A and B are shown apart, each in its own frame.
Chain A
Amino acid sequence: MHLTLVGLSHHTAPIDVRDQAVLTKTLQEKALSFVRSSSGILEAVLLSTCNRSEMYATTDEEHTDPRPIEAWFHEIHGLDEGVLSPYLYHRKDEAVIRHLFRVVSSLDSLVVGEQQILGQVREAYMQSLNTKTTGVVLNRLFEKALAVGKQVRETTEIGAGAVSVSSVAVELARKIFKDLRQHTAMLIGAGETGERTAEYLVDQGVKRLIVANRTYERAADLAHRYDGIAVSLHDGLQMISDVDIIISSTGATEPVLGRERMADLMHDRRNRPIFLIDIAAPRDIDPRVRDLYNVILYDMDDLQSVVDDNAESRKVEARKVEGIVESEVDRFLAWYQNLAITPTITQLRHFADDLRHQEVDRALAQLGHLSEKDRETVDKMSRAIVNKLLHQPTVQLKNTADPEHKDYHLYSLRHLFGLDEQGNDRNGTGNE
């Protein structure tokens, strides 16, 4: 039995190729039923995220060639044979284990340390469990992978510190205010980063979002999207004394908020803390407002420097995570390699037992005068010989630590006893 992986990700494929290879839920179900009906593939799990489409499978000895899976990858998406081939990667056995453990630890992600992948792997595994396309090996592999993913997040700082400008801004807001549900935010102007920050704030349950824009229609459109209130820019600036978080990203050339104005506003607010996020270029807010009591201002450079610091510390943590992954791969391998031995030993035992039965039956047929007790003794003796004969090789095989030696022994055993020949494979490499 062998572990096989065929897939593509942001490391190998550009976005338009990845879009073509997405395994949607309906496709996944189809795919899993295809896998079940195809010969040679014993188990399969499909993992699909926005950045990767992968198939984890176990195959029997005769079907280790990944090409059928590759062909299936094309077929399922209605693509011509070979279109995806330059972007697909193949892994086998140990490399599959390592790959999955790295994926689930987010080491293979576009943003190292991201959280979602753990849930996505769990979902992929659950779906395969439901469609009953997993068995001993993949069950164990995915259970272990999920445990590794959890351990990595609990024992390292791989996911600590936001690594995008908008999420840093929201993380700061959460460290400034006790409970965002009691605070109102205002988005002034438009722009991708500003909008995303506003969106995150709404996700975090901010009490109210006010959208102010020079053109009211634009404000109304954004407000509608994020369940906020639209106002004109002029009205928005009048409302600041009631707002605790301001995201400013207008295209104005002159500062929208000067120091004098801010000082007056702080007086009106009775010095309640305010968090100003200025992501406009040129800047919307006079940097001198920093001197005012309880005014916290972060501009684009400030946010970017936090992003850089966090990315740097994630890199340091990633090295720790690699260490954890390696030791878990070793532990899993120890189990996995023994698994290959188990079916061989079972097969060998059946082979020996069949011979014993034949010979005992033949002998007893000629020894009709024996009593029931004597017949039992003969049967017992034959069992004892088989057991004693097979005991030592079995133990030796199990105890061989070096994987290469193990493979060699396995090969010799199967070859010398003819275990792979016709008529001897009825207890072959099936699932246990």
Chain B
Amino acid sequence: MGTYILHGLILAGYAVATVIYFRHFWTRQPRTGFYATLCLVLALVFHSAFLIARGFESSHAPFVGLHESMSFFAWLIAVVYLFLERRFHDRSLGVFVLPLVLAAQAASTAFMSPVDPLPPLLQSPWFNFHVTASFLAYAAFSFSFITGLLYVMQMYYIHHRRVGLVFSRLPALGMLDEMNLKATLIGWVFLSAGIATGIWWATAAWDSITPWLLDPKVLCVMLTWIIFTSQLVTRYTMGWQGERSAIISMAGFASVLLAYLGAGLWTNLHIFD
């Protein structure tokens, strides 16, 4: 019963915060902005409490299975967003980030499941490191996606002379491009670390490489890595900054979703993360 109430509180918190962020986007009233942030912080407090409680209950880090990992993912994005908001004194990204947080947390609630004992395969010190690195990468790529999407939108408005209200609320192209690049760089480092630990761990767990190398999830993650690597390479060698870079990062995020959700449906190795 307590769990349901906590989940309700978290969801309600994010939902109300999303609404207030939208309101603030239109009205730009400082007071509304303050309430938006306050609401987000409250939701995060409940959310953190849930993750900690869940961790103690299961006695492993709270990202095993869809229910936990989705929730952890939502929490991570919300925390990173809050940090960026404080850092840049800009709430305009909130209306794009909060729906993502809300969706991830809602999905987590929908997949609610009792605590599972950790399967023997995952009872390894590599597990926490591998999963944490991967999730940090996913969270960073979410910001690549959002800033990339906003860049494309902003560029569309400028090219089509539709420089109205939404245009005036969004950050400058240069700012979005810079945030997109930084998010991709951070994501790329963590994804590389996640892949490296994964390979290390897999070679230790299996004698041959075929069972894990052909795992759909592994393949999707490799694709993700290739896409984001190409974003960085084309940028630095061919001057593909701006819109092209933004579009590649959006494709990269699609690949993340595929790796995380799609591959989960037919993989047999990665069912637990």
Contacts and interface: CB of A to CB of B under 8 A. Distances in A.
B29 interface: yes
A309 B164 contact: yes
A270 B173 CA distance: 17
Interface stretch (A169-177, A220-228, A319-327, A410-418): A169-177
A170 to B, nearest CB: 12
B158 A161 contact: no
B184 to A, nearest CB: 17
B163 A178 contact: no
Contacts of A273: 173-174, 241-242
B244 A296 contact: no
A176 B158 contact: yes
A305 B162 CA distance: 9
Interface in A292-311: 293-294, 296, 298, 302, 305-306, 309
B158 A175 contact: yes
Interface in A143-194: 154-155, 157, 160-161, 168, 171-172, 174-179
Contacts of A290: 159
B178 interface: yes
B161 interface: yes
Contact of A272 (B175, B239, B243): B239
Central interface residue in A155, A168, A175, A179, by most chain B CB within 10 Å: A175
A177 B158 CA distance: 13
B158 A157 contact: no
B241 A175 contact: no
A175 B173 contact: yes
B244 A293 contact: yes
Interface bracket on A: 20 to 34
Interface in B167-192: 167-168, 170, 172-175, 177-178
Contact of A271 (B27, B28, B29, B239): B239
B240 interface: yes
Nearest to A313: B164
Given A270-B239, A271-B239, A296-B158, A175 B163 contact: yes
Given A176-B172, A294-B242, A160 B165 contact: yes
A163 to B, nearest CB: 13
Contact of A174 (B30, B172, B178, B238): B172
Contacts, number: 69
B159 A178 contact: no
Interface string A131-150: 00000000000000000000
Contact of A177 (B30, B154, B161, B172): B172
Contacts of A179: 174
A302 B158 contact: no
Contact of A154 (B29, B161, B170, B172): B29
Central interface residue in B30, B161, B178, B244, by most chain A CB within 10 Å: B161
A125 B163 CA distance: 37
A172 B242 contact: no
A41 B28 CA distance: 43
A302 B178 CA distance: 27
Interface in B201-229: none
B161 A305 contact: yes
Contacts of A309: 163-164
Contacts of A157: 165
A308 to B, nearest CB: 11
A176 B241 CA distance: 13
A272 B177 CA distance: 11
Contacts of B244: 293
Contact of A178 (B164, B178, B241): B178
A258 to B, nearest CB: 21
Contacts of A272: 239, 241
Central interface residue in A155, A171, A272, A294, by most chain B CB within 10 Å: A294
Interface in A232-273: 269-273
A179 B177 CA distance: 12
B172 A155 contact: no
A70 B166 CA distance: 49
A178 B172 contact: yes
A302 B242 contact: no
A302 B45 CA distance: 49
Contacts of B170: 175
Contacts of A174: 172
A368 B163 CA distance: 91
Contacts of B168: 160-161, 175
Contacts of B30: 154
Interface in B4-51: 27-30
A287 to B, nearest CB: 13
Interface string B229-273: 000000000111111100000000000000000000000000000
Contacts of A269: 239
Central interface residue in B163, B238, B239, by most chain A CB within 10 Å: B163
B10 to A, nearest CB: 32
A432 to B, nearest CB: 35
Given A154-B29, A294-B242, A294-B243, A302 B161 contact: yes
Contacts of A168: 163
A271 B158 contact: no
A296 B159 contact: yes
B175 A178 contact: yes
Nearest to B157: A175
Contacts of B241: 271-273, 294
A313 B166 CA distance: 13
29 contacts: A154-B30, A155-B27, A161-B163, A161-B164, A172-B163, A174-B172, A175-B158, A175-B163, A175-B172, A175-B173, A176-B172, A177-B172, A177-B173, A178-B175, A178-B177, A179-B174, A270-B239, A271-B238, A271-B240, A271-B242, A272-B239, A273-B241, A273-B242, A294-B241, A296-B159, A302-B161, A306-B161, A309-B163, A313-B165
Interface of B: 27-30, 154, 158-159, 161, 163-165, 167-168, 170, 172-175, 177-178, 238-244
Q: Which 8 A-B pairs have the closest CB atoms?
A: A178-B174, A270-B239, A271-B239, A178-B175, A177-B174, A176-B173, A175-B172, A294-B242
Given A177-B174, A179-B174, 20 more contacts: A154-B28, A154-B30, A155-B27, A157-B165, A161-B164, A171-B163, A174-B172, A175-B158, A175-B173, A176-B173, A269-B239, A271-B238, A271-B239, A273-B173, A273-B174, A290-B159, A293-B243, A306-B161, A309-B163, A309-B164
